[in-house]
Structure 1
Amino acid sequence: MSAVATKENRVHIIQGEFFVASEQNVMVTTILGSCVAACIRDPLAGVGGINHFLLPGNTSRVKSDEAERMGVHLMELLVNGLLKSGARRERLEAKLFGGAKTVRAHTDIGKHNVEFAERFLRDEGIAHIGGSTGGLQGRRIQYWPVSGRARQILLTGTLQVERPVVAPAAAVDTHAGELELF
């Protein structure tokens, strides 16, 4: 019997976008600085998705043409997209990425984005199972929504340094090779 090769379908999202998939061969990428991406899936339904937001946002103060870049809007769109695709809220699990402090300023936008995303997950009863947030470097994220596998590549100017993505309880060895979570 011969092996069957499957072509990986790569999708790139940018700030203000979200994407939901239920196909095994889909991998979603995005590049983050102070922005945050929430990778959320329902492992039993076999559906997952990702978003990419610029600021936490408050729907009462956000102009309609700016709402698409705000976390409060994109988190709701992502969760609703997952539910419409067969996910169940009580089975959702999330990984958060991004939130770097990429600009020297008094306000740490990345930190506020991460705090918002963590609070959203807590308030919605969504399990936060890992990811990588904070620091001073941007990240390239690769996420396979159905399996929940995630990989990040830290960006430092023109040099890219690969680092493992680790679950919160695991020890972190920054000099280790690539680690993929399933």
Structure 2
Amino acid sequence: MRHDPDLALGSPTRITVMQGQVYVGTGAPEILTTVLGSCIACCLYDPIARVGGMNHFLLAEPTPGSGTVADQNYGIFLMELLINQMMTRGGVKSRMKAHIYGGGNMHAGMTRIGDANARFAQNFLADEGIPVMRQDIGGDTARRVDFDPVLGRTRCRHVEKVAAPVSKPVSQPATSGGELELF
């Protein structure tokens, strides 16, 4: 997590939650932020205890039988970690509410990892009895999410798709005089 305090007096501290991380607010004025493509960020908060946190996961869970152990790349690990860390700060699971973001399918024709991540997050929260109050998932654009862990407020902005300039091949004359020909 990168801490970037704003220069203005009284402004909240901005904390970037990177892929594979969980951060639970300290109670001080903070804004948790992340940028997502196919990843999911789950923002949980307990409105009574005024405690909240965010995670950012790359994949839902390891493939059964793969021998892979769930770690910080997987939602199954980071969702449990977020709930447990919130409970150590006074959050009560039965009062927790969720917002989920991300799950974009960023590249046409590739495995729809974003859809799988979004389904996992929705199913996990339903199984845990945590209601989803807001979600912005799917599609094919990236998102930037800001979350106030004390008030449970979020802002989600779609990152505009900007086409990369098309590179044009540059033709070069062939050289002679040896066994090597440059193209």
In structure 2, the partner of 1:104 is 108
- Structure having the higher Rg: 2
Counterpart CA distance in 1 for 2:143 and 2:157 is 6
2:97/2:131 contact within 8 Å kept? yes
Inter-CA distance 42–68: structure 2 relative to 1 (3 Å threshold): same
Structure 2: which amino acid aligns with 1:11? I
Structure 1 residue aligned with 2:59: 55
Contact 2:94 2:130 in 1 (8 A): yes
- Answer yes or no: is 1:6 the counterpart of 2:2: no
- What's the RMSD between the two structures over aligned residues? 1.8
Find the counterpart in structure 1 of residue 119 from structure 2.
115
Residues 75 and 136 (structure 1), Cα distance of their counterparts in 2 relative to 1, 3 Å cut = same
| Deviation digits for residues 99-124 of structure 1 (CA, Å, limit 9, x no counterpart) | 01101135211010000000000111
Give the unaligned 5+ runs of structure 2.
1-8, 164-183
Counterpart of 2:43 in structure 1 is: 39
Instruction: Say whether residues 1:84 and 2:93 are aligned partners.
Output: no
Percent of residue pairs identical: 37
Q: TM-score, normalised by structure 2?
A: 0.79
What secondary structure sits across from 2:76 in the alignment?
Answer: helix
Indicate how the Cα distance of structure 1 residues 101 and 113 shifts in structure 2: closer, same or farther if over 3 A, else same: same
Q: Which runs of 5+ in 1 are unaligned?
A: 160-182
Instruction: Tell me the amino acid that sits aligned with residue 161 of structure 2.
Output: G
Helix, strand or coil: the match of 1:57? coil
In the superposition, relative to structure 1, how do residues 84 and 142 fare at CA in structure 2: closer, same or farther (>3 Å)?
A: same
* 2:144 match: 140
Per-residue CA deviation, residues 116-160 of structure 1 (Å, 9 max, x unaligned), is 00000011111111121111100011111110111112112359x
Could you tell me which of 73, 76, 85 is aligned with 1:72?
A: 76
More displaced stretch, 50-59 vs 150-159: 150-159
- Normalized against structure 1, the TM-score is what? 0.79
Post-superposition CA distance 1:55-94 (Å, at most 9, x none): 0013864645x71110000001000000111001100000
Which amino acid is 2:22 matched to? Answer: F
Task: Describe the SS at the equivalent of 2:72.
Answer: helix
Distance 1:158 1:23, change over 3 A: farther
